[in-house]
Amino acid sequence: MGDRERIRGLEEVLAREEIRGVLMDLARGTDRLDAELIRSCYHPDAIDDHAEYRGGPEGFADWVLEVLPYFAATMHFLGNIRIEVEGDVAHSETYCVAHHLTRPDDPEGERDISMGLRYVDRFERRADAGWRIAQRRCVWDWANTLPMDVKHAFGESYTLGRRDREDPSYEREEGA
Tens digits of residue pLDDT in 47-103? 999 999 999 999 999 999 999 999 999 999 999 999 999 999 999 999 999 999 998
* Angle made by CA atoms 124, 81, 119, in degrees to the nearest 5: 65
- What are the CA-CA distances from residue 104 to residues 68, 71, 151 (Å)? 15, 9, 11
What are the structural domains of the chain?
3-150 (3.10.450.50)
Tens digits of residue pLDDT in 15-24? 999 999 999 9
Tens digits of residue pLDDT in 27-36? 999 999 999 9
CB atoms within 10 A of CB 16: 18
Coil vs helix vs strand at 96: strand
Cα(124)–Cα(159) distance, integer angstroms? 38
